[in-house]
Amino acid sequence: MAGAAVTLIDARGEILFRYPDAERWLGQRLPDAVLVRAALASTRGTAVEARGLDAVDRVYALAPLGAETGQVLRLALGVARSDIDGPVNEIVRRDLAAITLLAVLTLAAALLIAQRSVHAPAQRVLEVAHGERERVQAELALREERMQLQAAALSAAANGIVITDRDGTIRWVNAAFSRLTGYSADEAIGRNPRILKSGQHDAAFYAGLYRTVLCGEVWRGEMVNRRKDGSRYTEDQTITPVRSDSGEITHFIAIKQDVSERKTLQQQRERLAAIVEASPCFVATADAAGTVRYYNAAARRMLGLADDADPAQVRIADTHPAWAAERVLGEGIPAAVRDGIWTGETAFLARDGREFPVWQAILAHKAANGGVEFMSTIALDLSSIKQAESQLRNLNAELEQRVAQRTRQIETTNQELESFSYSVSHDLRAPLRAVDGYARMLEEDYAAALDQEARRLIAVVRAESGRMSAMIDDLLTFSRTGHGLIANGPVDMMVAAREAIAQTSPAYPAACVVLEDLPDAPGDRMLLRQVWVNLIGNALKYSSKAAAPRIEIGGRTDGAENQYWVRDNGAGFDPRYADQLFGVFRRLHGETEFPGTGVGLAIVRRVVTRHGGRVWAEGKPGAGACFGFALPRGH
């Protein structure tokens, strides 16, 4: 710098050295100027702006030298004002120690170059300069060490730290910032913190933030930002303005702490608190000493407490009738402290003194050392349940009366049915037997007097009386299957099916009957045997006109039921009428084509239904039929 000057002054104000123009000023005493007075009065480094001895306006850094040796000297390093941009304080005072060291080195170099003949002053100056250089170097080394430690602390901090200039350009970030945001230092430096905006906050939020920090105040708050990968997080942030010596804000330091997990836990706690408060159950907490600390809305409503009532003023014993208080205090709480939880039926007292029953759970919440931290209780009002139980008991008693009455009615009906069955069996059959007997007498005793037509008519009368007798027998069988108790025991269905085959197949010697394995079933053996007789007999009858009659009998277990079927290759039927086949006296074929009464399948359905099962039928005209039934395995 062309206007630079270094001047060394002793305590009397005598110039010991000046560079440049050392010879001109050596040994002279400076006048009583502002710079001289400041230099002589200064006991520590300072900076002034003044006109030099050569009429050049300079900014001088003044520093004492040799104080530790007793040789008090003053050193002034001047820089032409025209070479300085900006305020003096910001430029010169920023690091006075560094300027002083520069002055000492400059002075020493100047003395060597000048090689003055005045050895003693020069030697003294060099000695002082050497000592001051060592002191300043030590101070600078200490300052550098401190700065390195501060930088290391900032870099290693667990919280994210970002430094921006006044315009918001990022100048430095630490490693925690990169871990938090996903942006490396190279990616973040030179950019604006707007790269983290999540869109969660409106313009007014940021305007308030900027207003605060630009006024020099510290801003603290929570902010939702967006990481580099697009995920959002919540951070607790503090932004501190940094001022220069002149008081201007030059930088901002932001410290960021990720509080997403804390916010999540806080939200969960708030939600749980809201759930507990809104719960229809009675919920209360008490400290380890038994002082109530909280009642939820339901508890306050049940006890008749105001929302702003102090729970601590409510004694536990006063909320229960005497018997319930004795159980809670004497049994429930001690058991909860011992075992962690106690449950039982107690009661509370409403505000009007009414006692209402509750199911109550008392819990002891313990610390890691086993001591009780606090107690809680949850209670469910049983008033409606108790009322329902009373109504149920009354209904059960009424139902039992009705069942007994209905049982008597059923017994009476069964007796009437038995009487009816006897009447049908005896009273109706007697005339039929008489008709058949007289027709047979005519046929046998008066055969010679009867022509062929008369004999044919007598045969028709006997056949119809026989069919009527068979219908009466089937009808009685159908009636009996709908009444009376059903035996419930294991039934070997293979044996039942074989007995049915033996009973029905002799009339159809041309038929081929195939019996597969059948699962056993629980039920009434005689009734289930009748089912097999009816189904196998039908199959043999309706397949009798086939060229090679074939009957297949099978079964299997399917889930909770056993299924059985009888399949034939006989006349079949129109599937549209499948449901009608199981009705009484419902037939799809004429008597002359296939004889029968039309009651057999109705008996099958009644027996199976009484066993808790179901029936079905499948078939096509001329392509055979399949009749099946299913019984529950656990019937």
**Residue 416 above 80 pLDDT?**
no
In a shared domain, residues 23 and 130: yes
The predicted structure's pLDDT at residue 92 = 45
Which pLDDT belongs to residue 498?
92
User: Residue 574 has which token pair?
Assistant: 């129109």
Smallest Cα–Cα separation from 483: which of 406, 413, 424, 531? 413
Decide if pLDDT at 590 tops 80: no
Is residue 75 within 8 A of residue 103, CB to CB? The reply is: yes
**Residue 271 counted as domain residue:** no
pLDDT score for 482: 57
DSSP state of 103: H
Per-chain mean pLDDT for the chain = 79
Task: Answer whether residue 159 shows pLDDT above 80.
Answer: yes
Statement: residue 320 has pLDDT above 80: yes
Boundary residue ending a domain (125, 152, 179): 152
pLDDT tens for residues 340-399? Answer: 999 999 999 988 888 999 999 999 999 989 899 999 999 999 988 888 888 899 999 899
Q: What is residue 452's predicted lDDT score, i.e. its pLDDT?
A: 83
Choose between 631 and 526: higher pLDDT: 631
Q: How many CB atoms lie within 10 A of CB 66?
A: 19
Segment 330-340, tens digit of pLDDT: 999 999 999 99
Same domain? 433 vs 520? no
Average pLDDT over residues 27-44: 61
Closest alpha carbon to 356 in 330, 375, 329, 383: 383
| Structure confidence at residue 240 (pLDDT) | 94
Write the burial class of residue 187 (CB in 10 Å: 0-12 exposed, 13-18 middle, 19+ buried). middle
Contacts 24+ apart (CB under 8 A), 260-267: 260/233, 260/234, 260/235, 263/222, 263/234
Q: Which of 455, 478, 501 is the last residue of a domain?
A: 478
Flag whether 269 is in a domain: no
15-24, 129-138, 183-192, 617-626 — most confident range: 183-192
Mean per-residue pLDDT for 567-583? 79
Residue 10 shares a structural domain with residue 140: yes
Same domain, 436 and 574: no
Which is more confident, 150 or 627? 627
**pLDDT attached to residue 334:** 94
Q: Is 0.85 surpassed by the pTM of this model?
A: no
Closest to 240 (Cα-Cα) out of 215, 270, 264: 215
Q: Is residue 274 part of a domain?
A: no
Cα–Cα distance between 536 and 530 in angstroms, integer?
10
Query: Residue 456 pLDDT more than 70?
Result: yes
Residue with tokens 């610390």: 367
DSSP state of 160: E
Looking at residue 97, what is its pLDDT? 45
pLDDT at 589: 55
Instruction: Characterise 55 by phi-psi region: left (phi > 0), alpha (psi -120 to 50), beta (else).
Output: left
Query: pLDDT tens for residues 186-237?
Result: 999 999 999 999 999 999 999 999 999 999 999 999 999 999 999 999 999 9
Q: How much is the pLDDT for 585?
A: 55
Question: What pLDDT is attached to residue 109?
Answer: 47
Q: Of 264, 295, 312, which marks where a domain is finished?
A: 264
Residue 196 counted as domain residue: yes
SS3 223: strand
Alpha helices, H only, 172-321: 175-181, 185-188, 203-214, 260-278, 297-303
In a domain, 606, yes or no: yes
- Split at pLDDT 50, 70, 90, the class of 404 is confident
What are the distances in angstroms from CA 574 to CA 426, 565, 614, 624? 39, 19, 21, 10
CA 222 to chain centre: 26
Q: Over the stretch 524-538, which tens digit does the pLDDT of each residue have? A: 888 888 889 889 988
178: CB partners within 8 A, 6+ apart: 184, 185, 188
The answer to whether the Cα torsion of 335, 340, 345, 349 is positive or negative is: positive
The pLDDT value given to residue 230: 93
518 and 470 both lie in a single domain = no
Give the number of other CB atoms < 10 A from CB of residue 6: 22
Same domain, 79 and 176: no
514 and 537 in a common domain: yes
User: What average pLDDT does range 505-520 have in this prediction?
Assistant: 90
Instruction: Report, as an integer, the average pLDDT of 413-425.
Output: 64
Q: How many domains does the chain have?
A: 5
CA distance 36 to 51: 11
DSSP for 292-351, written as a single string:
EEEE-HHHHHHHT--TT--GGGS-GGGGS-HHHHHHIIIIIHHHHHHHSEEEEEEEEE-T
Instruction: Count the Cβ atoms, other than its own, within 10 Å of residue 360.
Output: 23
- Give the C-alpha separation, 589 to 580, whole Å: 13
Same domain for 11 and 85, yes or no, is yes
pLDDT in tens, 473-488: 656 665 666 556 667 7
Residue 494 in domain? yes
pLDDT at residue 557 tops 50: yes
**For residue 113, what pLDDT is reported?**
44
Q: Are residues 401 and 357 in the same domain?
A: no
Asked whether residue 469 is domain-assigned, the answer is yes
CATH, residue 577: 3.30.565.10
- What range does the domain containing 189 cover? 160-264
Which residue type does 523 have? Answer: G
Based on the fold, state whether residues 548 and 605 are members of the same structural domain. yes
Distance CA 627, CA 624 (A): 10
- Residues 371, 443, single domain; the answer is no
Q: Judge if 350 and 459 occupy the same domain.
A: no
Q: What value does the mean pLDDT take over residues 134-162?
A: 74
CATH code for position 373: 3.30.450.20
pLDDT in tens, 86-119: 444 444 444 444 455 455 545 544 444 444 434 4
- pLDDT score of 96: 46
Q: Does residue 270 form part of some domain?
A: no
Is a pLDDT exceeding 90 seen at residue 435? no
